[in-house]
A and B are shown apart, each in its own frame.
Chain A
Amino acid sequence: MPPRARAVAKAASGARTAAGAANVEGLWLAELQRLADGAAHELRNALNGVAVNLEVVRSRSSRAGTAADTLGSFAGAAAEQLDQVIAMTEALVALTRPLRQPASVGRVADQVVALLHPPAVASGRRVSLVVEGEGATGTPADVVRLLVSGAIRAVVEAAPEGGEVRCRVGPVEGVELDVTGAGARPLRLDEVWQRVADAHAVRVAAAPGAITLTFPA
């Protein structure tokens, strides 16, 4: 190939890569918006729990003759709610920050579960995560986030009331995210999401109620 043609081909390839990256970034932002939207109500709820219980502590502690131990349960409830606020806020902040390579599938899954768990609990479902190792992968960070979040969310949304969604991240021929728990319900996986997985050599094995993603190491 003449040098000029090689240069044009290289430029074209670079443009395609940039366009693809921009596309993934856009898709991830949309996914992040969905996560934040789902978590917002629970975030407000938790803040509400903090505010209401602290108000009890504040008003009762200013009253003469109130025993300190009677305030303990309200202070405890406020602290518990505050823990949830912190966990969700931390996860949200982390997911909005640029991610260094190699991306950790385990960490991303942890952040996603931190946001998906409270609303899932509110609607009568549970989400648990087991991470075996860091699960580092060479797959671009936004692609990892998009695919991990999309997979877990799809199973949680399909899970029946009272059901439990189990996520496991472990090293099997690369890094595997195994999500189960939707019973026999079919998953609603976005076509673009699947195309992104294919484009980045992430293997997707979807069955009714379960999905396994295998990232290259």
Chain B
Amino acid sequence: MATTKQPKILIADDEATITTGLSAILSDEGYDVEVAGDGQRALDRLTAESFGVILADLKMPKLDGLALLKELQKRDVPTECIIVTGQATVDSAVQAMRQGAYDYIEKPLNAEKLNRLKALIPKALEKFTVQQKNRELASKLEGLTHYGELTGQSESMRGVYQVIDAVAPSSASVLILGESGTGKELVARAIHSKSERSKGPFFALNCAALPKEILENELFGHEKGAFTGSTNEKPGAFEMASGGTIFLDEVAEMSPDIQVKLLRALETRQVRRLGGKKEINVDIRIVAATNKNLQKAIADGELREDLYYRLAVVEIFLPPLRERAGDIQLLAKEFLSRFASENSKQVGGFDDSAWSWIVSYAWPGNVRELKNAVERAVIMARTDTIGAADIMPRHLRNSSDMPALTIEVGNTTVAEARKQLVLRTLAQTGGDVQRTAKLLGLEVKEVVKELFALAGGNGAPRTNGDAGAERASQHKGDAGAAPAPRGKPPAKGKKK
């Protein structure tokens, strides 16, 4: 006996005597049944409400069973269709199945066929339910453009979100790898906010920004008189962040002796202030980040291997922006909207040349560079639309400042050289595609094609499959490795 919580069943048939009887039989089986007197009404009901299964007569007024099936496919209406036919021919059955029918059953529905129908329905409903769950999951992920303070809907970012979701509830240390400007601190904040420590403090320290002594003092605190001028005791980050999370950015820049202390704190969950004698218990979670190639740092003795393993219980790799082509437009629009609002500017969007530039530029400074470029463009905008020249870095806008094109013989393909040339010329012309084409002796469409190819084809930004997702959980210490350029940043050219 089916439960009443199951998805509804729709019977589409113009024969009232059949629908009444069939409806009674299925209701007796515990299903929630509705009837539509013709194909068009069935389509209206199916588009208005969710039905797990539709039993459709092949021959109906207004819209017959096959036409209904076709419409359902066309409109992507989720339901499983069982065709009930009084004209069972191989052709119509094959056609129905080909058009996505779950099954078909031939009239008259004698006891044997009714039993078959009764057995078919739960299977069809099960398929519907499974597919519905998949659709919900897919749409949840697909529609996910923001996660905490992170923005992105590319496969690689979805992979990052999944890892954050999985690791946040645990107390495991997390090492975030990624180029500068990719949003490592935002990931750390997301981990903290989704963990049970979210009510506790989040303490961020940049290990590269502070001199060794100050960093040590900031991390572990000091007792009164520990050093000249220490007139008061001061708790360190470990104490202050107890019950919360410490984010250590640029962790590979930490001096070796602080690394030892950090390692000990991680192992014992105890710290000792500078000049202090007693061990203080701390309850902290460490989230560290670096843009360095950690394998190289370990090999060069800059990072203790045992500390690395302590920190990298779980690694999250944040892809560079150039590998998240699908997110570039989303981020650019979001920054534009944010900065236009903050600066009370009436800037509505980017023109085509600006978009060409945005999606084709490599953004070596990643999201941070894009954010700054958009902010600058909004502030400087004189019209309600931002052009390529507004969004380009200044050194690329003035031809006199333009670095020369680099073509390393033996290390550059013709396609790469052509790409560089188009990009460089486009930058020189301030994003003027027509002038670029004229200067290069190309057709405008060839320039546009080249730009679109850089963007991933057809003008739509490219996504990077699920490579990022894989790397998000498997990547080991190569975050600092030189990124494979998708259109090398023009600023890095060296020689003519």
Contacts and interface: CB of A to CB of B under 8 A. Distances in A.
Interface of A: 40-42, 44-45, 47-53, 55-56, 59-60, 73-74, 77-78, 80-81, 122-124
Contacts of A60: 24, 28
B32 interface: no
A74 B21 contact: yes
Given A44-B108, A48-B108, A60-B28, A53 B17 contact: yes
B20 A123 contact: no
A65 to B, nearest CB: 13
B14 A52 contact: no
B29 to A, nearest CB: 10
Nearest to A84: B17
Given A59-B25, A77-B17, A123-B61, A51 B111 contact: yes
Given A44-B86, A56-B25, A123-B61, A50 B108 contact: yes
A104 B15 CA distance: 34
A41 B21 contact: no
A53 B20 contact: yes
Contacts of B28: 56, 59-60
A47 B24 contact: no
Interface string B82-112: 0000110000000000000000000111110
Contact of A80 (B17, B107, B108): B17
A137 to B, nearest CB: 36
A123 B64 CA distance: 11
Given A41-B86, A55-B25, A48 B18 contact: yes
B27 to A, nearest CB: 10
B59 interface: yes
A72 to B, nearest CB: 13
B15 A74 contact: no
Interface residues of B, number: 20
Contacts of B61: 122-124
B22 interface: yes
Contacts, number: 72
Given A59-B28, A60-B28, A123-B61, A52 B111 contact: no
Given A40-B86, A48-B86, A52-B18, A74 B108 contact: no
Q: Lowest 10 CB-CB distances: which A-B pairs, in order? A: A52-B21, A44-B86, A47-B108, A48-B108, A53-B21, A49-B17, A77-B17, A48-B107, A41-B86, A44-B107
Contacts of A122: 14, 59, 61
Interface in B218-262: none
A44 B59 CA distance: 12
Given A49-B17, A52-B114, A74 B24 contact: yes
Interface in B340-366: none
Nearest to B57: A45
Nearest to A161: B61
Nearest to A49: B17
A78 B22 CA distance: 12
Contacts of A45: 15, 18, 86, 107-108
A41 B87 contact: yes
Contacts of A41: 59, 86-87
Given A41-B87, A56-B24, A123-B61, A51 B17 contact: no
Contacts of B110: 51
A56 B21 contact: yes
A74 B20 contact: yes
A55 B111 contact: yes
Contacts of B25: 52, 55-56, 59
Contacts of A73: 20
Given A40-B86, A44-B107, A124-B61, A51 B24 contact: no
Given A44-B107, A48-B109, A50-B108, 7 more contacts: A48-B86, A53-B17, A55-B109, A56-B25, A73-B20, A122-B14, A123-B61
